[in-house]
């Protein structure tokens, strides 16, 4: 009795605590879903609302002042049809060029007997470390029609008045963006090539099919769905890219969607047409969403082409014969053009006392003055601090949030997990410039309603980046989690471990390479990405390196761009090596 | 005990001083004197600025007390970061309690975005410069704080400051053209702007690179009696675009200075005397030429109303307008003083290129009333001629 008397309240409290825990456990996925929905849907809603707003400013939005005028103006006055056409040519061209180049390199590394494959395999992904803006600037310095170092040398040597290449053309845009797409496409294609069972090719060959027929009818047919999915993924990436068309297209009025939207709000003399920018962004977003829809459909149906079975196999290596060395030369040329050349060009510019073509005299005049100037500027230290702060916060937030989302998707029977999966992928379809514009509107409204100071703050960038990079992280995290068998988790549960302990002691160690890999990859993206900060950066409080480089380039301070670019690229190479050592390198890019 | 007593005396004296003297007067700081002396400023000018300091820094003590409690000033500037790094320590030697976050900005980021934020009830910058092309929007928004209570206000000539006291000129700049000495001979350079756009111009067909900055030089001609709106609309501008056929560039002023050096074009237009002088100091083969009439103007400085750094911004702008500030910025980056007592030899870089020539000054009236009219003509022709937008 005494026992009953003493235990009853304890049992009741225990039951109550258990019930409370159950409620929390049941509510938690819903909270995550709501949070994600708010993160993704709220900016899109503000973008759509803004596109119909006929008020001059975001904070003058009023329900009685809405209409279709912005869409009309964008279509008729801004000739968005031309922008759609340019974007189509640019995206298709860059994707075909980039994926084909990546395909050739991946095939050489995985399926041929090319010498030096390890170096090529290690080198190609390093291209991720070259920020798009520096990549584009390097090509301007080399191939600008009149002053590009290559063209200048050509004209001086031949006496010609015409340049050898003109980077300020659609061809130039496709070339520069295509090269930029190769590293990620390569990382995605390598596992595809590796996982192909050679039995079918061998059977075809044994049946008398010629090697070219085998490649055409078997190899390419098997690869096609995967290649198509990768191509669409890359097309979305090319479409949302701002840096390359911003540096190469904008100066000659060769606009694609990302630059047109930016151009509409970057008005030097008067308050820009925000409503029109939103309307243009809506066209942009709809096209990106349609492409993403096809991507998802393709990925889901690609299982039909799976050749991985329980049977072990080693993919057949194709002997290249006398083409072994030329193949290696081709691969090395790619590495030189995408990694070594941009670095050398920026290094050269950073050491000049004034901009001039390479010559003996120029080499003799080398100075570290630009580096000293950069270090003497309080602005650089502040911008560096902002960049590091944003990068650390974004990478950590994205890693944690993607872990939570992936856990719910992969490990629970939560009713809304498919919606959660869809919502987490959706940001991949939102171009950075569009999200920037959407958040610009949203933050202004939030500040007006709440009195907070989100607009122009560093947290505005962190939030924007978190939304933008979540889809990459959730994909990678989910793939890694699927590979961890639930038995381990069940065993821990049966032993009475709390969920947080399971996460820390079971998932943590097993997923560490993925967690670190995602963290580093998101950190790299946060440093590279400039379209979103270009819209959300509002002065010293939240200026980051990408914006500073853009501003210096825009102002014509090319030597400072060189000095900062070299330091940034060195840092990014270190991160890329870290990424390879800890994360995706060990998985060979399967998740991305 | 003795120490406590003497400290108490000191505190009482300070309090008494603070109560009786409501303003803070000062001489030129040693740091300023040293900096100006080391950077080639004439000793006579330094002495003059030193003598003026007691009047120009006669700031109410209350301003300084409140400024010390405020945060850092967010300063949107067109000044290169390395210049700011030079003059900022001189300012902070006088006002160590005031911190400044200076961001070099261009395009919409310099003036339009801060104005937009202001109109939306937010302040993302506190002090800004060179907002001339959006001046009418700033006035319409009533965005600028009155500055005519600054002790150094009267140093700005009347025709270079707002009648209502909301903005002032802070530096004089002369806008001409840079050329690559290896590619352009002196006899190819035009004596007047009419010569530049004539059929016989040696610089036709893409040798000139032009930035889309009509307000920096064309406006001066628009308001000059020899040119005027009618001749500009019907003769000069059509000849500029159709006869001269310059490269219409997207780059800003910095691009106009650097690109002739690598042969992108031979002549960059418009380029300011201070930045051109700076590139010349590197040994670059750059020359600078001013056709007549010579476009000159003064960059504006102002501060937003309701700023969280109200007092520190006022103290800062006062320093910029003072002789000490004007000479310090001249020494740090070649920015020409606008101060009426500093219009002397040595007050402008590359003055040989325009000394004795007819000057076309951009006036406040021109900026407020004529610039929109010029833009109505300039913008369509620029776009129709394929200019980068």
* Percentage of chain B lying above the pLDDT 90 cut: 62
Q: Chain B residues with CB inside 8 Å of A540's CB? A: 72, 74-75, 101-103
Chain B residues touching residue A252 (CB < 8 angstroms): 250, 388
Q: What is the pLDDT of residues A64-112, one digit of tens each?
A: 889 999 898 888 877 788 899 999 999 999 999 999 999 999 989 988 8
Say which of B261, B263, B388 has its CB closest to residue A251: B388
ipTM over 0.85: no
Q: What is the largest CA-CA distance in chain A?
A: 109
Contact yes or no for B210/B269 (Cβ under 8 A): yes
Going residue by residue through chain B (389 aa), what tens digit of pLDDT does each one get?
Answer: 444 444 444 444 444 444 444 566 578 899 999 999 999 898 999 999 999 999 999 999 999 999 999 999 999 888 888 889 899 999 999 999 999 988 877 666 778 888 888 887 778 889 999 888 788 889 989 999 999 999 999 999 998 999 999 999 999 999 999 999 999 999 999 999 999 999 999 999 889 999 988 888 999 999 999 999 999 999 999 999 999 999 998 888 888 998 899 888 999 999 999 999 989 998 899 999 999 999 998 989 999 999 999 999 999 999 999 999 999 999 998 899 999 999 887 778 898 999 889 999 988 888 888 988 998 999 889 988 888 76
Interchain proximity B81–A379, CB inside 8 Å: yes
Q: What does the CA dihedral A505, A510, A514, A520 come to, rounded to 10 degrees?
A: 50
Q: How far is the alpha carbon of B336 from chain A, nearest alpha carbon, in Å?
A: 20
- CB-nearest to B125 from A356, A378, A539 is A539
Which of B102, B256, B283 is facing A353, going by the closest CB pair?
B283
Output the CATH code of domain A71-356: 1.10.3720.10
State whether the Cα torsion A494-A496-A502-A506 is positive or negative: negative
Cβ of residue B92 closer than 8 Å to a chain A Cβ = no
CB contact set of B218 (below 8 Å; sequence gap of 6+): B232, B237, B374, B378
**Rounded mean pLDDT, A366-382:** 85
The Cα–Cα gap between A139 and A4 comes to 82
Give the integer Cα–Cα distance in Å for A284 and A70. 14
| Mean pLDDT of chain A, nearest integer | 85
- B109/A551 CB distance under 8 A: yes
- pLDDT class of A176 with cuts at 50, 70, 90: very high
Domain A372-543 CATH (choose: 3.30.160.60, 2.60.120.10, 1.10.3720.10, 1.25.40.420)? 1.10.3720.10
- Check residue A338 and give its pLDDT: 92
Window 133-152 of B, Cβ < 8 Å to A: 133-134, 137
Residue A584 has pLDDT above 80, yes or no: no
- CB-based contact, A271 to chain B, within 8 Å: yes
The rounded distance, in Å, linking the Cα atoms of A402 and B71 is 37
Return the pLDDT at B69: 94
B336-337 and B168-180: which strand pairing?
antiparallel
Looking at chain B, which residue has its C-alpha nearest residue A58?
A: B120
Given CB atoms, is A57 within the 8 Å cutoff of chain B?
yes
Per the DSSP assignment, residues forming a β-bridge with B180 are: B286
- H helices present in A426-457, as ranges: 432-450
- Would the pLDDT of A541 be above 90? no
User: Measured between CB atoms, which of B84, B120, B133 is closest to A58?
Assistant: B120
Counting one residue from chain A and one from chain B, the pairs whose CB atoms sit within 8 A come to: 163
Query: Range(s) for CATH 1.10.3720.10 in chain A?
Result: 71-356, 372-543
**A226 inside 8 A of chain B by CB:** no
- Cβ of B84 within 8 Å of Cβ of A378? The answer is yes
* Contact yes or no for A536/A460 (Cβ under 8 A): yes
Angle between helices B323-333 and B310-321 (to 10 degrees): 70
Listed by number, the residues of chain B in 267-326 with a beta carbon closer than 8 Å to a beta carbon of chain A are: 279, 282-284
Least Cα separation, residue B186 to chain A (angstroms) = 21
pLDDT on residue A311: 54
Whether A107 and A120 have beta carbons less than 8 Å apart is answered as: no
**Domains located in chain B, CATH noted:** 25-172+298-342 (3.40.190.10), 173-297+350-384 (3.40.190.10)
Average pLDDT over residues A18-32: 81
Report the chain A residue with the minimal C-alpha distance to residue B134.
A269
Question: Do the chains contact at B388 and A271, CB–CB below 8 Å?
Answer: no
Helix A545-555 / helix A378-411 crossing angle, nearest 10 deg: 130
Q: Please indicate if any CB of chain B lies within 8 Å of the CB of A556.
A: yes
**What's the burial of A130, exposed, middle or buried (CB within 10 Å: 0-12/13-18/19+)?**
buried
| Closest CA–CA distance from residue A575 to any residue of chain B (Å) | 28
């Amino acid at each position: 009795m005494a026992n009953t008397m003493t235990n009853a309240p304890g049992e009741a409290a225990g039951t109550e605590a258990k019930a409370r825990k159950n409620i929390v456990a049941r509510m938690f996925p819903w909270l995550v879903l709501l949070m994600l929905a708010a993160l993704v849907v709220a900016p899109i809603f503000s973008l759509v609302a803004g596109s119909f707003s006929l008020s001059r400013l975001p904070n003058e939005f009023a329900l009685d002042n809405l209409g279709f005028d912005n869409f009309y103006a964008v279509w008729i006055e801004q000739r968005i049809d031309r922008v759609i056409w340019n974007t189509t040519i640019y995206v298709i061209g860059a994707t075909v060029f980039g994926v084909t180049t990546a395909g050739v390199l991946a095939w050489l590394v995985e399926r041929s007997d090319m010498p030096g494959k390890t170096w090529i395999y290690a080198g190609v992904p390093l291209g991720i470390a070259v920020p798009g803006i520096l990549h584009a600037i390097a090509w301007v310095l080399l191939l600008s029609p009149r002053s590009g170092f290559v063209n200048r040398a050509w004209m001086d040597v031949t006496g010609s008045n015409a340049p050898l290449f003109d980077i300020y053309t659609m061809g130039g845009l496709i070339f520069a963006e295509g090269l930029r797409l190769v590293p990620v496409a390569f990382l995605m294609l390598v596992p595809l090539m590796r996982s192909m069972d050679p039995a079918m090719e061998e059977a075809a060959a044994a049946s008398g099919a010629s090697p070219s027929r085998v490649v055409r009818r078997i190899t390419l047919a098997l690869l096609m769905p995967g290649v198509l999915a990768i191509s669409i993924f890359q097309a979305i990436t090319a479409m949302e890219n701002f840096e390359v068309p911003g540096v190469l297209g904008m100066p000659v009025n060769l606009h694609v969607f990302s630059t047109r939207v930016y151009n509409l709000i970057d008005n030097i003399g008067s308050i820009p047409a925000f409503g029109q920018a939103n309307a243009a962004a809506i066209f942009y977003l709809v096209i990106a969403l349609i492409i993403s829809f096809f991507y998802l459909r393709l990925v889901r149906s690609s299982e039909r082409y799976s050749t991985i079975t329980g049977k072990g196999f080693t993919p057949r290596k194709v002997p290249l014969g006398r083409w072994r060395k030329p193949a290696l030369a081709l691969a090395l040329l790619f590495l030189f053009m995408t990694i070594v050349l941009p670095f050398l060009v920026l290094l050269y510019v950073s050491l000049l006392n004034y901009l001039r073509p390479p010559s003996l005299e120029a080499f003799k005049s080398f100075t570290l003055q630009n580096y000293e100037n950069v270090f003497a500027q309080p602005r650089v230290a502040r911008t560096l601090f902002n960049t590091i702060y944003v990068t650390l916060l974004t990478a950590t937030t994205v890693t944690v949030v993607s872990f939570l989302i992936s856990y719910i998707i992969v490990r629970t029977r939560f009713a809304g997990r498919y919606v959660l999966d869809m919502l987490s992928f959706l940001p991949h379809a939102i171009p950075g410039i569009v999200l920037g514009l959407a958040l610009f509107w949203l933050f202004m409204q939030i500040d007006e309603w709440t009195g907070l100071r989100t607009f122009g703050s560093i947290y505005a960038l962190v939030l924007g980046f978190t939304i933008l990079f979540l889809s990459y992280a959730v994909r990678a995290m989910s793939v890694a989690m699927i590979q961890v068998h639930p038995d381990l988790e069940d065993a821990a549960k049966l032993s009475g471990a709390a969920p947080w302990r399971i996460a820390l002691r079971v998932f943590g160690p097993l997923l560490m390479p993925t967690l670190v890999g995602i963290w580093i990859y998101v950190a790299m993206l946060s440093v590279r990405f400039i379209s979103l900060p270009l819209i959300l950066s509002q002065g010293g409080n939240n200026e980051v390196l990408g914006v500073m480089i853009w501003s210096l380039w825009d102002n014509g301070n090319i030597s400072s761009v060189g000095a900062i670019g070299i330091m940034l690229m060195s840092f990014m190479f270190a991160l890329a090596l870290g990424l390879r050592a800890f994360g995706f390198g060990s998985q060979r890019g399967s998740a991305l | 005990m003795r120490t406590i007593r003497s400290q108490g005396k000191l505190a009482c004296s300070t309090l008494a001083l603070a109560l009786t003297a409501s303003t803070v007067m000062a001489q030129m700081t040693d740091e300023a004197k040293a900096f100006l002396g080391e950077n080639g400023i004439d000793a006579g000018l330094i002495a003059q600025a030193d003598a003026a300091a007691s009047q120009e820094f006669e700031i109410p003590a209350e301003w300084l007390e409140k400024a010390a409690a405020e945060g850092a000033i967010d300063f949107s500037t067109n000044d290169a970061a390395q210049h700011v790094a030079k003059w900022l320590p001189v300012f902070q030697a006088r006002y160590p309690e005031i911190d400044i976050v200076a961001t070099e900005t261009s395009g919409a980021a310099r003036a339009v975005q801060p104005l937009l934020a202001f109109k939306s009830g937010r302040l993302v910058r506190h002090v800004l410069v060179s907002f001339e092309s959006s001046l009418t929007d700033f006035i319409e928004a009533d965005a600028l704080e009155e500055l005519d209570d600054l002790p150094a206000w009267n140093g700005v000539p009347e025709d270079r400051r707002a009648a209502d006291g909301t903005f002032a000129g802070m530096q004089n700049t002369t806008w001409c053209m840079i050329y690559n000495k290896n590619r352009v001979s002196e006899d190819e350079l035009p004596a007047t702007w009419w010569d530049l756009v004539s059929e016989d111009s040696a610089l036709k067909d893409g040798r000139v690179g032009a930035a889309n900055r009509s307000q920096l030089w064309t406006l001066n001609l628009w308001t000059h009696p020899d040119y005027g709106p009618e001749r500009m609309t019907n003769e000069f501008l059509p000849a500029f675009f159709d006869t001269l056929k310059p490269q219409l560039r997207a780059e800003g002023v910095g691009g106009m200075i650097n690109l002739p050096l690598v042969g992108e074009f031979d002549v960059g237009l418009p380029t300011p005397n201070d930045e051109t002088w700076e590139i010349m100091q590197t040994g670059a083969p750059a020359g600078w030429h001013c056709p007549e009439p010579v476009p000159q103007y003064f960059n504006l400085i102002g501060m937003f109303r309701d700023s969280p750094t109200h007092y520190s911004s006022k103290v800062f702008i006062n320093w910029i307008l003072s002789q000490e500030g004007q000479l310090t910025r001249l020494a740090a980056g070649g920015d020409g003083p606008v101060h009426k007592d500093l219009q002397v030899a040595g007050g402008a870089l590359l003055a040989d290129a325009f000394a004795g020539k007819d000057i076309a000054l951009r006036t406040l009236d021109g900026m407020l009333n004529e610039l929109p009219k010029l833009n109505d003509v300039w913008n369509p022709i620029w776009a129709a001629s394929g200019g980068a937008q």
